[in-house]
Amino acid sequence: QEQLVESGGGSVEAGGSLKLSCASFGGTFATKAMGWFRQAPGKEREFVSSISWTGELTYYADFVKGRFAISRDRANNVVYLQMNSLQPEDTAVYFCTADGTTAEAMSTMAPHFIDYWGQGTQVTVSS
């Protein structure tokens, strides 16, 4: 069974850092674009970052550029999201995603078109 499992969420103070991990199981995720979306309370789910299946191409939402970095370990089927300079507005549930399209397309796709989702991990940033 194909599955994405996130970990690494938690609570930090503003200016702090967290590193999220997404382990993939049971599928051909190594050849899929992967990414991260987030959903804050009362808001719609939004794109955060994506990475091509080779790991060579990365895309970021404007609000995280220069603060977040996505990477992947294809040998171990893990995708990471390093989050630095966290702010209270980054508070949300972060979801790992995978899709057969490109990482660039994932950055503009409506969330309901994305094939695979993890269960989400909570990130809370206090001021």
Mean pLDDT calculated for residue range 85-101? 97
| pLDDT of residue 16 exceeding 80 | yes
Q: Is 3 helix (H, G, I), strand (E, B) or coil?
A: strand
Backbone CA torsion sign across 86, 87, 91, 95: negative
* pLDDT (0 to 100) of residue 28: 84
Residues in the chain: 127
pLDDT score for 61: 98
Chain centroid to CA 13: 20
With a cut of 90, say whether residue 6 has pLDDT above it.
Answer: yes
68 pLDDT more than 80:
yes
pLDDT band at 20 (very low <50, low <70, confident <90, very high): very high
Instruction: Give yes or no for residue 30 having a pLDDT over 90.
Output: no
Which residues are paired to 24 by β-bridges? 4
Tell me the mean pLDDT in the region 50-59: 97
